[in-house]
Amino acid sequence: MTERNEKHGALHRAVDKAADTVGGMVGRASANTAGSHSAGSFVESAALGDMYEIAAGKVALQHARSEKVKEAAGMMVEDHTASTERLRAALQASETPDLPGLPDSIDAGRKSLLDHLQATPAEAFDRMYVDQQVLAHKETVDLMTGYRDAGDDPALRSYAAETAEVVERHLAHMEQLKADFDRGGVR
């Protein structure tokens, strides 16, 4: 790879990371508004978050270099698959009429995160995955705790309360991995 291509690649990754960060901030704002109160918005946001976590985890299982990152990715796939099943059950128990079903495909913002992750070179992949996970889990914690506290459907509030605990543990785990990267301790 030429020096010019290396500089271009590094610049492209920096732009992707900035876009991911802005997307994370927008997602958190959304999680703290409509998603925190409206059953329909909450269901869509929760389902899309699970879809992203599962897809990103599968990518990480294939591309991560660190065993710690692969273990975390496996946990994300397993726990967010279970979360989707619990969401499906809560949706069936819901008392709110005319709620939409779970979305069939991921939204553009999360698709962009996945595209950035897949385009990340091997030597930067683990760090990019963990950085995205921290942002995604902050958004999901906001969504779950907001709906748990102010949601309009009892069955979905119960799901949010249960899921918030799991996602808070995920966030703490990812923040620890990020701190380990910062200290050079993830291999």
Q: What is the pLDDT of residues 41-98, one digit of tens each?
A: 999 999 999 999 999 999 999 999 999 999 999 999 999 999 999 999 999 999 899 8
Give the residue extent of every domain in the chain: 3-182
CATH superfamily membership of 3-182:
Ferritin, core subunit, four-helix bundle (1.20.1260.10)
- Contact at 8 Å (CB) between 49 and 136? yes
Prediction pTM value: 0.82
Q: Find all residues with CB under 8 Å of 161, minimum gap 6, and list them.
A: 144, 148
The pLDDT of residue 156 is: 97
